[in-house]
Amino acid sequence: MKRGVQFIIIASLATTMMILPSCTPSENVTNDVNKSNNASVSSNIKTSNVYFLELGSDGCTPCQMMRPVMEKVTENYKGRVEVIFYDVNTVQGGSKAQEYGIRVIPTQIFLDSQKKEIFRHEGYYPYENIKSLLDGWLE
């Protein structure tokens, strides 16, 4: 194999290794406001409406795994939770990713009825976990 081809292959692998961790599921990570005790956060907040922002990409496997979760939330919380997906690889999604300081995709951000952030999670987030949060927040 020629040296130039070897370098390209190695560079491609190194780039892939840097990108993959940012697209793989992670443990529950919340913003600094909520790091101390997520359980108390969910029980102390009461709101009539919640906005569920999903920031991800159509080419990301964990993001694709979130699609049925978002659909289930939309279906089961109709009129109480607005689910909004932003593809970070688009102009609008990229600006939202910058606005919210997204480090990893997928990232879920939950906003109260005044559009203030109440919870953030990075990585795949199962429906059952989201349901627990929503049931504690919604009046």
Q: How many domains does the chain have?
A: 1
26-31-33-34 Cα dihedral, nearest 10 degrees: -20
Quick one: pLDDT at residue 27?
41
Query: What range defines the domain where residue 29 resides?
Result: 3-137
Q: Say which DSSP state 49 is in.
A: -
Please list the rounded mean pLDDT of every run of 10 residues in the chain (139 residues): 53 43 43 36 68 96 97 97 97 97 97 95 98 92
The pTM assigned to this predicted structure is 0.70
CATH number of residue 122's parent domain: 3.40.30.10
